[in-house]
Structure 1
């Protein structure tokens, strides 16, 4: 009786194991021919031990299946990561660290940071990351393009393709003077259809009081008298958009040749005939993006870009409103690490001191 039970258990175990293999193989889209191709045929004179050969082959098959499952899971996890691009330099490295910390602190989703800095600053960044709580973040770091003007890290937007050729799919671009208070996944999920090249904050509909009064237009940001712009369809009174925080799809940018278009416009600018207009804060990088992406953008939710915190040293919003904002932007002259700025305590919440004490904010204002 015990012998019969033992045989029954062995049979049931074999059936369960076979079903498990079938399930795993089907999930990996395994084809029957794969196993036949891997079978070893004993050569003439070779002593064939069929049971041992089958056992060895089964172990190899199981190992290959488990390895394939691991690779598939790692690939799936990598593909689901949110790509966040940040550019900075020696003067803004404090801001870069605060941006990264704010993103990590407010999302549970996997994030992969694409950081570009001057080559001389990269070792400092690596040590800063390694010695702080940010040591577990996933990131790729590359030096600025040699063509970028010194002291203008925001020009990286024009050279993203050459700096990060492996970047594909959607990405979020953040300037170094922002703090993310919301879940970055929500920003990344802003829908983009086939007719749009990015999601930006439109200046004329911004919550900023300054922009609501100034009403920035293409006529002040773009030199519409430039030879290449003659006969264009850009409306002088069309509203501009902020190019310092946006969501785009790099795969589509490559397909539409956006990078080459941007570079072409930058190269078309000269001192005698600049492509930018009379607005003091506009330069070739912003002007090129305003031209190439004209009428090809969608609106970011207002709370995902509360800007102009650095235009004046005083507060222009209520503290309750700032607390509900999902992204704060200190664009303007007053940076929270460099001088007295509005709502500096919101930036300090995510500031991470440099372990080597090489980079320090101006403490007398903190």
Structure 2
């Protein structure tokens, strides 16, 4: 080999080494700037030239964190915003299981594949409403018939069969903390799930007084019914909100939790066990019964709720909302509507629908 060729090879090797060093520096700078500027969907000018896998997925290593969420057609924007907030605020290896219905799956696939969420690990599973046959009212005008997806949380092990633990989230949430922290919450021995109690320190900051009896068992169950009396539960026991669940799926299966929940669902169709003052939460009563004094606690900051209730959400200070690790707009008023509290926080994580079929409703519109 001539000296000229040797020099040429050396130059090529030096150029390759230089490009590798530059690329690594760009990736490090990208990671630093993302920490400093966590705005959802932010893509730095040079990032578009890098492989998507190198750009964001290089840090998605370690134990998988399964998160189950449901996706109804009229609330798809909520699912997308929740997923985006989780993904952007954590470097954990999150894998989403999204339960939806046949008429929604294609819309959701397109939304995820054509936006900044295309690299998020997920699987879409079709929920079959016939699974609920005989367990809820057949009246098409009831909430049970209209919203079958609300019962998906009862079947967690069926949809995430290989996992030992999993997180269930309602779609009307925004996660501001690192989801790994919630996932690593300790459950007491023998407990199949952890919830955030409605009488916890976060809710006690003067925000649920307008919610009536919705913070204890009597707000959900009819204690005049014999089947409820026999359980020996105290009516003033603090209830919990199942919009955020950390589940030990091994215990869930060993204790036949799903079958226990189905039993109380079926019994309610025969004896009407739910409280007459109940507001919307048809899935909560069976969970309250099955997990009575048999559940662990979630840090209250990991389930700051009632943002969708009139008056309640407005009692939060902006500083408290900013410090919350998970915000939940449970109640009638959703952050993609006109009159919700702190909808600007939700807007930060919303990813527009490429089909234009879903759009937040705002006062000015």
Tell me the residue number matched to 1:318. Answer: 317
Tell me the residue number matched to 1:294. Answer: 292
Q: Deviation digits for residues 64-95 of structure 1, max 9, x if unmatched?
A: xxxxxxxxxxxxx9871111110120111110
CA contact (8 A) 1:276 1:282 kept: no
Higher relative contact order (CA 8 A, sep 6+): 2
For 2:71 and 2:364, the matched residues in 1 are separated by 22
Cα displacement (A) at 1:103: 0.2
Cα displacement (A) at 1:186: 0.3
Cα displacement (A) at 1:167: 4.4
Cα displacement (A) at 1:357: 0.8
For 2:72 and 2:172, the matched residues in 1 are separated by 12
Tell me the residue number matched to 2:29. Answer: none
Cα displacement (A) at 1:275: 2.4
Q: Deviation digits for residues 308-348 of structure 1, max 9, x if unmatched?
A: 00102762211111111100110001101123211111000
SS at match of 1:204: coil
Bigger Rg, structure 1 or 2? 1
For 1:152 and 1:79, the matched residues in 2 are separated by 34
For 2:338 and 2:225, the matched residues in 1 are separated by 37
Tell me the residue number matched to 1:166. Answer: 161
For 2:216 and 2:363, the matched residues in 1 are separated by 38
Correspondence 1:133 to 2:131? no
For 1:206 and 1:279, the matched residues in 2 are separated by 25
Tell me the residue number matched to 1:59. Answer: none
Cα displacement (A) at 1:158: 1.9
Mapping 1:26-105, distance limit 5 Å: 80-105=63-88
Tell me the residue number matched to 1:245. Answer: 244
RMSD (CA atoms):
2.1
* TM-score, scaled to structure 1: 0.74
Cα displacement (A) at 1:105: 0.4
Correspondence 1:339 to 2:322? no
Tell me the residue number matched to 1:197. Answer: 192
SS at match of 2:146: coil
Tell me the residue number matched to 1:276. Answer: 274
For 1:165 and 1:104, the matched residues in 2 are separated by 19
Q: Which segment drifts farther, 320-329 or 198-207?
A: 198-207
Cα displacement (A) at 1:361: 1.4
Q: Provide closer, same or farther for how the CA distance between residues 365 and 95 of structure 1 changes in structure 2, counting only shifts above 3 A.
A: farther
